[in-house]
Each structure stands twice: as structure tokens, then as C-alpha cells.
């Protein structure tokens, strides 16, 4: 997979990183701080906004490939174990989950 969008049968796909992580080691107050840093206190700032990442489900992020290292660094700062998988995703699918 390359760095840019790929085209398959008139469908444009973007390479994304599907990142799963664990916050099990965090104390409740630190878990709250982690989620504020991730999502922002207002729901519109934080790591997700800065990187264009999408919170798909609890402990699952879909991250644009160019921001993968930023998110991995963020998770490393919080000492969150994580796994990264690559995926080709239609931008329309990402937008429909970003709401």
C-alpha cells in the first residue's frame, strides 16, 4: 500500500491505520484525562480533531496514514498498548462515521 489514494473500479480508497488500544492500566482520573486529551473537553478539540482520526468504537481509532505516528506517540505518552493494522477505506465511509 502506498502513501496516496488508490483507485479500484472507479472507487477512490485512502490508506488508513486502524488502531486498537487499551486503557485498562489507567486509574479512573487518568482515564478521564486521557479521553479529554483524545477527544477534547468540548468534543471538538484534542488529538482526534488535530489528526482527522475517527473514534469508531471504544478503544478503536481510524487514523489517516500521514498522522499514524502522531497518534502512536500520543498512545505511547499515555503508556497505552496498541496494535496497528492497515486498511484501504472509502473517504465517504470515514465521513459517515465521523459525525
Number of folded domains that form the chain: 1
C-alpha cell at 85: 493494522
For the segment 41-94, what is each residue's pLDDT rounded down to a tens digit? 876 689 999 999 999 999 999 999 999 999 999 999 999 999 999 999 987 776
For the segment 25-43, what is each residue's pLDDT rounded down to a tens digit? 999 999 999 999 999 987 6
Residue 4 placed within a domain: no
Residue 60 placed within a domain: yes
Residue from 46, 35, 44, 21 nearest 99 by CA: 44
Range(s) of the domain holding residue 72: 25-98
Residue 29 placed within a domain: yes
β-bridge pairing 54-57 and 82-89? unpaired
Residue 89 placed within a domain: yes
C-alpha cell at 1: 500500500
CA-CA distances (angstroms) from residue 57 to 18, 36, 45, 77, 81?
11, 16, 18, 21, 16
Amino acid at each position: 500500500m502506498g502513501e496516496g489514494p488508490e483507485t479500484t473500479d472507479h472507487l477512490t480508497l485512502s490508506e488508513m491505520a486502524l488502531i486498537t488500544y487499551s486503557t485498562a492500566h489507567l486509574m479512573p482520573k487518568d482515564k478521564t484525562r486521557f479521553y479529554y486529551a483524545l477527544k477534547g473537553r468540548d468534543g471538538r478539540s484534542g488529538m482526534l480533531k488535530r489528526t482527522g482520526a475517527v473514534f469508531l468504537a471504544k478503544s478503536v481509532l481510524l487514523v489517516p496514514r500521514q498522522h499514524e505516528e502522531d497518534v502512536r506517540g500520543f498512545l505511547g505518552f499515555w503508556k497505552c498498548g496498541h496494535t496497528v493494522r492497515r486498511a484501504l477505506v472509502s473517504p465517504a465511509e470515514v465521513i459517515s462515521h465521523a459525525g
